Amino acid sequence: MISLELLVASAIGVLTAAGVYLVLRRRTFPVVLGLAFLSYAINVFLFAMGRLVIDRPPLYDKAADGYTDPLPQALVLTAIVIAFGMTAFVVVLALRSYLETGIDRVDGMPDEKGKP
């Protein structure tokens, strides 16, 4: 039977691999999607790092026998805000590049048709 840790680690690995693959593409839209996948992988990693405990308060309480660490949740919320700002910036940058050059390539060079 597959463990939950293996499943989460595999999901993080797949998201990271897909993100890196898409970031290395020639067009700008896959690059934006790759950056989104990388940010999702980081968010899942940060959330899994906190070892989620069910039915525990987020702050220390003497009556409870344990507590959940609130730091990973705060880091994930911060990472979501940063990823949203970064995605908005990259989309505007890609749109401006397309409007200036007329092509949707990362390097700004036209496609070389006719070469093998």
Long-range contacts of 28-35 (CB under 8 A, 24+ apart): 28/94, 28/97, 28/98, 28/104, 28/105, 28/106, 29/94, 29/104, 31/90, 31/94, 31/106, 32/87, 32/90, 32/91, 32/94, 35/83, 35/86, 35/87, 35/90
Give the C-alpha separation, 37 to 104, whole Å: 20
pTM, entire model: 0.79
Full pLDDT tens readout for the chain, 116 residues? 678 888 989 999 999 999 999 999 989 999 999 999 999 999 999 888 877 667 776 676 676 677 777 788 888 899 999 999 999 999 999 899 889 888 888 877 777 764 54
